[in-house]
Amino acid sequence: MNYLFIRNWIGFFILGSINNLSYVIVNSSALVLAASFGKSNLVAVIPWANVGFNLIIKGINTFLLVKVPMHLRFGVNGVLMIIGLLGISFSPNFYMIIAFILVIGLASGLGESIALEYLQRFDSRLVNAWSSGTGFAGVLGASLYIVFTCIVYEATLNDISVNTTERLRRMNQIAFWASTPLPIAYLIAYFIIIKREPEPEPELDYEPQEVETESKDTSSEKEDESIVQLLDDDIRASNIQQQPLIGKKPSRVKSYINSYLRGFTSTLWLSLNLTAVYYFEYLVRTYSSKTRPKYDFHPACPELYAAIQLSYQAGVFVSRSSLQIIKIRYVWILTILQGINMAVWLIDDFWKFLPIYVLPVFMVYVGLLGGASYVNIFYLVKTEDKFKCNREVSINICSMWIAVGIFTASATDTLFDLTFLKNY
């Protein structure tokens, strides 16, 4: 490993960590955010809002922003993160919070899409740096949220003037406000730390040219030949313009569409697995808000829902960092196992048979499967020959399918919360 590789590994690790940080803090705080405004039955709306613009912005980046310079896209994304965190900190009602969560989700989705696209210009091993960083973001974000909320909880515990609702709001305000400076590290990672390896200069082969002297007569003859040749070329050009365009090359638009169709079909199996894994694990994460009786989720240090989310993020971090140790080609196995997890957690919402001490361990397992699926699928797209001619497009398309999985999971859980899970 050379110095430049290590430097870039650190840079992409930071990019992944900060890109997903605010997104993770939002998901970790979902139950407290909803409860602080009397919207406990709308917990699933928060992860839904967190991916509300995700699919749209990934589509825009894939199809419309390809020619926009990377430095501009990364710069705008860093600013969006700061706006989202500050907005949630000072929002006066639940609906304003949802609006700023949409901004945070947009930044997270755009950041993932442009980073995965940017990675195509670097060593394939750096995929592990990015994925490990996104996994660490989960641990860091959930831990920061727990630390900040514990500080507020302990500080207001004996203050009789602060009721439960006010305590919850203060917990959220401090947690998001204190996290606002962190996106600066994101910008430093891209603009200062990450450096591309210099392109090798092409070798030019020069052949010696002989300079010949010509007589004036020969030179005059060649000038006459040149004039005749130019006249012939003009006549041919005129004839070609009058002929119909037969066998014309495909337009740029058609080539563009064909490129994305190839990317869509070639990645379909991997994309469906990625969508299913995210669908199952996000259902599990929102089901966890009802997996115990309501009195177990009272404001405390740490708050149970946030602690369960931290356990999930720990599993994601470990598995997203595992690529250099183990690679999994048969990703469909991970999808099936995650589907089984989802079924168990849904049943537990009704019967509540899982002991409280089992929940964190079980959630680590959920995170392990989700992180392993993510990192191995993107590694396959990055390295397999069948994606070679269309790799950047294929990466972006897979990234879009993640948003589909999360979005449909959030919509499903919202429907369940408003119907047969309403009283659980």
Structural domain boundaries in the chain: 8-197+252-417
Lowest mean pLDDT among 91-95, 164-168, 360-364, 403-407: 164-168
**Unique residue bearing structure tokens 């900190």:** 89
**Cβ–Cβ < 8 Å for 91, 78:** no
Class of residue 384 by CB neighbours under 10 A (exposed 0-12, middle 13-18, buried 19+): middle
Indicate whether this model's pTM tops 0.85.
no
Q: How confident is the model at residue 231 (pLDDT cuts 50, 70, 90)?
A: very low
> pLDDT of 181-213, one tens digit each?
999 999 999 999 999 866 555 454 445 555 454
Q: How confident is the model at residue 240 (pLDDT cuts 50, 70, 90)?
A: very low
Q: What is the pLDDT of residue 194?
A: 94
Give the mean pLDDT of 16-30. Answer: 89
Q: At what angle do helices 94-118 and 126-156 cross, to 10 degrees?
A: 160
Q: Would you call the peptide bond into 183 cis, given omega within 30 degrees of 0 as the criterion?
A: no
Task: Name the fold adopted by 8-197+252-417.
Answer: Growth Hormone; Chain: A; (1.20.1250)
**Cβ–Cβ < 8 Å for 368, 313:** no
> pLDDT of 311-348, one tens digit each?
999 999 999 888 878 999 999 999 999 999 999 999 99
Q: What is the pLDDT of residue 340?
A: 97
pLDDT > 70? residue 86: yes
**Cβ–Cβ < 8 Å for 192, 7:** no
Q: Considering the chain, what percentage of its residues have pLDDT values greater than 90?
A: 37
On average, the pLDDT of the chain sits at 82
d(CA 70, CA 68): 6
d(CA 82, CA 75): 11
Q: What is the pLDDT of residue 397?
A: 86
Largest CA distance in the chain: 111
